[in-house]
């Protein structure tokens, strides 16, 4: 009886320990589960689906009150593009601005990129990082794109919004390349200005593309009166913001350039233009 009692007691002890370990494991599991659920809920809350079917997830929050691009503004981004795999995850990488070490710049909402980008970028803020899932009908559709993007592909892009330039679709974007001397004058309406310039078509990457004209090639500066319609509206308005002795790059949207008609054989309809301009002189 004594031996049986000892064995029984030992068995009872082992069962008790086993139960305690099971309870402990269960407690750990129960404690971990809400954390996973909370994380899943957090991930779900950070993802947003637009009425058009874009899924946008914030990967890194932008600074407080950071601006979002509006139609016609120039945005500069870094991105990596993937095909969505059968599990709905990132599959084959097909393109990346990081691999080229060259950010991508384009005007938002003007059809220069796929619709998913045009619509999606307007919901992203400067300084933020995002993941965006683009359904086929807002990407390359039934045609696909080259050898890397098959027909009807759903795409996933990781995008970082680096910069936004211009305040509306009709705004000029002027960048100072060389500062003018301190106190240098700016031209007023009716004054004669003398400039050297080179004009380019903006390419699909938002950069200087085909050169279509240059006063340097003729070794002949261009002289005209400012603000009275002797040149395209982008020049009339833009030159008035430049100072004598400075060098500038100016991006001119189509409606402030040659619009739907274009100009000759070199400037097609609806072209966005980029000019490098040096303001040499101002005269009354």
Q: Which residues are catalytic?
A: 79, 94-95, 114, 140, 157
Nearest to 119 by CA among 65, 61, 52, 63: 52
CA 279 to chain centre: 31
- Angle made by CA atoms 175, 241, 274, in degrees to the nearest 5: 45
Using CA atoms, how far apart are residues 268 and 203, in angstroms rounded to an integer? 12
What percent of the residues of the chain are helix, what percent strand, and what percent coil, each to the nearest 5? Answer: 30, 35, 40
Burial class (CB in 10 A: 0-12, 13-18, 19+), 1: exposed
The structure tokens listed for 236 are 């009339």
Beta strand 192-202 pairing with 273-283? antiparallel
List 201's β-bridge partners, or say none. Answer: 273
The structure tokens listed for 279 are 């303001």
The structure tokens listed for 265 are 């054989």
- What's the sign of the alpha-carbon dihedral 86, 92, 97, 98? positive
The structure tokens listed for 198 are 């080179």
């Amino acid at each position: 009886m004594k031996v049986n009692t000892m064995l029984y007691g030992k068995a009872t002890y082992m069962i008790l320990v086993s139960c305690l370990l099971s309870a402990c494991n269960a407690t750990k599991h129960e404690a971990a589960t809400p954390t996973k659920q909370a994380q899943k809920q957090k991930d779900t809350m950070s993802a947003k689906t637009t009425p058009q079917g874009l899924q946008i997830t914030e990967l890194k929050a932008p600074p407080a009150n950071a601006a979002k691009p509006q139609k016609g503004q120039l945005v500069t981004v870094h991105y990596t593009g993937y095909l969505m795999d059968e599990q709905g995850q990132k599959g084959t990488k097909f393109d990346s601005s990081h691999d080229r070490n060259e950010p991508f710049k384009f005007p938002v909402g003007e059809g220069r990129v796929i619709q998913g980008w045009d619509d999606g970028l307007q919901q992203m803020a400067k300084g933020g990082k995002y993941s965006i899932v683009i359904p086929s009908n807002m990407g390359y559709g039934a045609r696909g794109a080259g050898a890397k993007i098959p027909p009807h592909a759903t795409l996933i892009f990781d995008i970082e919004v680096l910069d936004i330039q211009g305040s509306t679709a009709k705004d000029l974007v002027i960048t100072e390349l060389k500062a003018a001397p301190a106190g240098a004058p700016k031209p007023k309406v009716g004054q004669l200005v003398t400039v050297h310039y080179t004009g380019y078509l903006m390419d699909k990457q938002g950069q200087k593309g085909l050169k279509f004209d240059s006063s340097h090639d003729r070794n002949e500066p261009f002289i005209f009166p400012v603000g009275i319609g002797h040149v395209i509206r982008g020049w009339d308005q833009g030159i008035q913001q430049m100072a004598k002795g400075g060098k500038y790059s100016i991006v001119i949207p189509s409606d402030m350039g040659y619009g739907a008609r274009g100009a000759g054989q070199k400037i097609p309809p609806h072209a966005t233009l980029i000019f490098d301009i040096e303001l040499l002189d101002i005269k009354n």
